[in-house]
C-alpha cells in the first residue's frame, strides 16, 4: 500500500522528528519562564506538581497530537476535521485547530518580544557592556531596555524575520535544515554552560530551592500555573506538535519518541534552574523577581566571573537559538493551513503571518512603555497574552484534544498509528487520555474559577 504523505514534505527519519519536536519544546519556556515562575511559586513543591503534570497530562496528550497529525498528514485545522470524519464524527472538530492557530499567534507576539530581549543581550554581551556590572546596574540596564520601545521594536522585528525566513523555506529546506544545525549546537552550548554554572558556588542552595518540597507553599494558583506551563513547555494544546507529527515517517513508535522529547525538555528546564538559582542566591537577589529574573541575574554573574564575557555571550546565543526553533513551530501550523486551503505559496503565507504577529507583538512590547497604562482584566497586554494562552487556551485545547483522541478517534486507528498491541502499555495511555488528563485539567480549572469568583 502506498503510504500517505504530507504535501509539505516529511522528516528524513525518526531522529529528525525527535530533534525538531525537541526544538519546538525547548525554548524560552525552559530557560526564561520555568526559573522565574518556579521562583514566584516558592520552588520545590511547584517543581513537583509540574513534573507530575508533564508525566500524567503532557505525555499522553503529546501522543494524542502526534497520532492525529500523522494520521491525517495535514495541518492541525484540517487534520482534526479529517480524522473526526474518518471516525464518523462532525468536521466541526476543526474549530479546536482554529483555536490553536489563534493561541499560536498570541504566544508568538509576546515570545518574540522576549526573544528580542535575548538578541539585545547577545549583542550587549558580545560588546562587553556587562563586564563588571553589579545587580543594581544590571537591573537598570534591563529597565532601560524595557522603556525604550524603539530598541524593543528593532529586535522584535529581527526575530520575526528570522523565523519567517526558516518557515518560508518549507519542511525540508527550512525546518529540517535548521534543526540539523541548531539542535546539536544547542546541546553543546548547554553542556558547556552547565559545567560553568556548577563552578559558581552556591550550587547546593540552588539545588535545594528546586527540589526541597514544601507543601505549605502550594496554592491552587500555583497548581494552575504548573499545569499551564506543562502545556506551554511541551508546545501542546495548539497544534504545533500535531503539525510536526504530520511530517513524521510512518512506523516509528510514537510512545518512545514522545517520552524522549518530554524528557529532554524537562532536563533542559531543570538544568536552566540549576544554572540560574545558584547565581540568584550568590548575589542575594530575589528568586521571585518575575520575568526579569534571567535578564538581571545572569549578566551579574557573567559580569563578575573569569571568562564571563564569552560565556555570557554563548549563554544568550543558546537562549536565542532555543527561542528561534520554538517560534518556528508557532508559525508552521498556520503556514501549512494557508498553503493547504488558499492555494497560496508558502512564501506569501509566511509574509502575511509575519506581518500579523509583528503587529500583535507591538501591542505586547508596548506594555513596558507606551501602553503601560492599558490593562485587560488588570493585566498589561504582555501579561494578558501570556496568561490567556498558557493558563486558559492551551489547557482548554488540551482538554479538547484529549477528549478527541480518547473518545472520538476509533480505537483501531489509535492502535494502528501508535504502532501498539492492545496491551497494558496501550491501556495506560488510553486511561490517561480518556480520564486522567481531561478530568485533572477540568478540576484544576474549576477550582481556580471558583476561587476567582467566590
Ligand atoms: N515550548 C516552547 C517553550 O517552552 O519555550 C513554547 C512554545 C512553542 C509553546 C511552540 C507552544 C508552541 F506551539
Ligand atoms: Na519548553
Assign 275 a pLDDT band (cuts: 50, 70, 90).
confident
Nearest Cα to 405, choosing from 148, 161, 67? 67
Q: Is the CB of 364 under 6 A from ligand 1?
A: no
Ligand in nearest proximity to the CA of 236: 1
Binding site membership of 58 for ligand 1 (Cβ less than 6 Å): no
- Model pLDDT, residue 63: 97
266 close to 62: Cβ distance less than 8 angstroms? no
CA of 131 to the centre of ligand 1 (A): 32
Rounded distance, CA 114 to CA 156, Å?
8
Residue 285: pLDDT over 90: no
Instruction: Decide: 325 in ligand 1 pocket, CB within 6 A.
Output: no
**Widest CA span in the chain:** 66
Best residue for ligand 1 mutational test, from 21, 36, 38, 240 (most atoms within 8 Å of Cβ): 240
Cα 307 to ligand 1 centre (Å) = 31
pLDDT reported for residue 2? 52
**Distance of alpha carbon 86 from alpha carbon 57, whole angstroms:** 26
d(CA 272, ligand 2 centre) in Å: 11
d(CA 64, CA 414): 9
pLDDT at 7: 96
Q: Give the angle subtended at the CA of 30 by the CAs of 64 and 186, to the nearest 5°.
A: 95
24 lines ligand 1 (CB under 6 A): yes
227-238 pLDDT, tens digit each? 999 999 999 999
Spell out the domain ranges in the chain: 14-453
* Pocket flag, ligand 1, residue 329 (CB < 6 Å): yes
At residue 259, the 3 state secondary structure works out as helix
Question: pLDDT tens digits, residue range 320-374?
Answer: 999 999 999 999 999 999 999 999 999 999 999 999 999 999 999 999 999 999 9
Angle, nearest 10°, between helix axes 293-304 and 94-127? 30
Helices (H) then strands (E): counts for the chain: 23, 0
* C-alpha gyration radius of the chain: 21
* Angle at alpha carbon of residue 153, lines to 152 and 158, rounded to 5°: 100
What's the CA-to-centroid distance between 28 and ligand 2, angstroms?
A: 7
- Ligand 1 centroid, distance to 392 Cα (angstroms): 15
Mean pLDDT (whole number) for 310-328 = 94
pLDDT, average across residues 276-297: 86
**pLDDT reading at 301 higher than 60:** yes
Query: pLDDT > 70: what percent of the chain?
Result: 99
Nearest-CA neighbor of 319 among 172, 145, 190? 190
What's the pLDDT at 281?
86
Smallest CA-to-CA distance from 203 within 273, 131, 293 is with 273
In whole angstroms, give the CA distance from residue 132 to residue 143. 18
Check whether 244 has a pLDDT greater than 90.
yes
Nearest-atom number in ligand 1 for the CA of 239 is 13
Residue 252's pLDDT is 76
**Cβ neighbourhood burial of 447 (10 Å; 0-12, 13-18, 19+):** middle
* Residue range 20-70, pLDDT digits in tens: 999 999 999 999 999 999 999 989 999 999 999 999 999 999 999 999 999
pLDDT digits (tens, 9 = 90+) for 94-127: 999 999 999 999 999 999 999 999 999 999 999 9
Using CA atoms, how far apart are residues 282 and 192, in angstroms rounded to an integer?
A: 20
The full 3-state SS of 192-257, as one line of letters, equals HHHHHHHCCCCHHHHHHHHHCCCHHHCCHHHHHHHHHHHHHHCCCCCCHHHHHHCCCCCCCCHHHH
The CATH fold of domain 14-453 = Hydantoin permease (1.10.4160)
d(CA 213, CA 208): 9
10 Å Cβ neighbour count for 161? 11
Give the predicted TM-score (pTM) of the model: 0.94
**Ligand having the closest approach to the CA of 265:** 2
Least confident of 59-63, 131-135, 154-158, 377-381: 131-135
Q: What pLDDT is recorded for position 189?
A: 84
Q: Which atom of ligand 1 is nearest to the CA of 32?
A: 5
Higher pLDDT, 293 or 339: 339
Which of the ligands is closest to the CA of residue 33? Answer: 1
Q: What is the ipTM of this complex?
A: 0.99
* Mean pLDDT score of the chain: 93
Q: Please tell me if the CB atom of residue 29 comes closer than 6 angstroms to any atom of ligand 1.
A: yes
| Ligand 1 near 170 CB (within 6 A) | no
What pLDDT is recorded for position 1? 42
The CA 268 to ligand 2 mean position distance, Å, reads: 8
Query: 435, 111 in Cβ contact below 8 A?
Result: no
Ligand 1 mean position to 194 CA, how many Å? 22
Ligand 1 centre and the CA of 390: distance in Å? 10
Rounded-to-integer distance, Cα 355 and Cα 337, Å: 17
Tell me the backbone φ, ψ of residue 376, rounded to 5 degrees: -120, 125
Cβ of 22 closer than 6 Å to ligand 1, yes or no, is: no
Give mean pLDDT, residues 8-18: 95
Closest alpha carbon to 278 in 213, 190, 217, 209: 209
Q: How far is the centre of ligand 2, averaged over its atoms, from the C-alpha of 89 (Å)? A: 33
Half-sphere exposure of 186 (CA within 13 A, CB side): 28
* Mutational pocket test of ligand 1: of 23, 65, 106, 232, the residue with most ligand atoms within 8 Å of the beta carbon: 232
Amino acid at each position: 500500500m502506498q503510504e500517505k504523505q504530507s504535501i509539505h514534505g516529511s522528516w528524513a527519519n525518526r531522529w529528525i522528528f525527535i530533534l525538531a519536536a525537541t526544538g519546538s519544546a525547548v525554548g524560552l519556556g525552559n530557560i526564561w519562564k520555568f526559573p522565574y515562575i518556579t521562583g514566584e511559586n516558592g520552588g520545590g513543591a511547584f517543581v513537583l506538581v509540574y513534573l507530575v503534570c508533564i508525566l500524567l497530562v503532557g505525555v499522553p496528550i503529546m501522543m494524542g497530537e502526534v497520532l492525529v497529525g500523522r494520521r491525517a498528514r495535514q495541518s492541525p485545522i484540517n487534520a482534526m476535521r479529517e480524522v473526526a470524519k474518518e471516525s464518523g464524527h462532525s468536521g466541526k472538530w476543526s474549530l479546536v485547530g482554529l483555536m490553536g492557530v489563534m493561541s499560536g499567534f498570541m504566544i508568538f507576539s509576546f515570545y518574540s518580544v522576549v526573544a528580542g530581549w535575548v538578541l539585545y543581550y547577545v549583542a550587549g554581551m558580545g560588546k562587553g557592556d556587562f563586564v563588571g556590572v553589579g545587580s543594581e546596574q544590571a537591573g537598570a540596564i534591563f529597565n532601560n531596555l524595557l522603556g525604550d520601545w524603539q530598541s524593543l521594536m528593532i529586535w522584535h522585528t529581527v526575530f520575526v524575520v528570522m523565523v519567517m525566513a526558516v518557515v518560508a523555506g518549507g519542511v525540508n529546506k527550512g525546518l529540517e535544515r535548521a534543526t540539523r544545525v541548531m539542535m546539536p549546537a544547542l546541546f553543546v552550548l548547554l553542556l558547556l554552560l552547565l559545567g560553568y554554572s556548577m563552578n559558581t558556588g552556591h550550587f547546593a542552595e540552588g539545588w535545594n530551592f528546586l527540589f526541597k518540597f514544601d507543601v505549605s507553599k502550594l496554592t491552587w494558583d500555583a497548581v494552575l500555573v504548573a499545569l499551564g506551563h506543562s502545556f506551554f513547555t511541551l508546545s501542546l494544546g495548539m497544534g504545533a506538535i500535531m503539525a510536526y507529527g504530520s511530517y513524521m515517517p510512518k512506523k516509528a513508535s510514537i510512545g518512545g519518541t514522545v517520552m524522549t522529547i518530554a524528557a529532554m525538555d524537562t532536563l533542559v528546564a531543570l538544568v536552566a534552574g540549576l544554572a540560574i538559582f545558584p547565581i540568584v542566591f550568590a548575589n542575594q537577589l530575589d528568586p521571585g523577581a518575575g520575568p526579569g529574573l534571567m535578564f538581571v541575574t545572569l549578566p551579574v554573574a557573567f559580569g563578575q566571573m573569569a571568562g564571563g564575557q564569552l560565556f555570557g555571550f554563548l549563554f544568550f546565543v543558546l537562549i536565542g537559538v532555543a527561542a528561534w526553533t520554538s517560534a518556528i513551530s508557532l508559525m508552521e501550523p498556520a503556514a501549512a493551513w494557508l498553503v493547504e486551503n488558499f492555494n497560496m505559496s508558502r512564501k506569501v503565507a509566511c509574509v502575511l503571518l509575519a506581518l500579523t504577529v509583528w503587529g500583535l507583538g507591538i501591542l505586547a512590547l508596548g506594555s513596558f512603555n507606551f501602553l503601560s497604562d492599558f490593562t485587560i482584566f488588570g493585566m498589561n497586554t504582555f501579561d494578558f497574552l501570556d496568561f490567556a494562552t498558557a493558563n486558559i487556551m492551551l489547557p482548554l485545547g488540551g482538554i479538547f484534544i484529549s477528549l478527541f483522541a480518547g473518545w472520538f478517534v476509533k480505537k483501531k486507528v489509535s492502535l494502528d498509528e501508535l504502532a501498539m498491541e492492545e496491551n497494558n502499555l496501550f491501556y495506560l495511555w488510553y486511561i490517561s487520555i480518556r480520564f486522567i488528563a481531561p478530568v485533572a485539567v477540568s478540576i484544576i480549572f474549576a477550582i481556580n474559577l471558583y476561587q476567582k469568583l467566590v
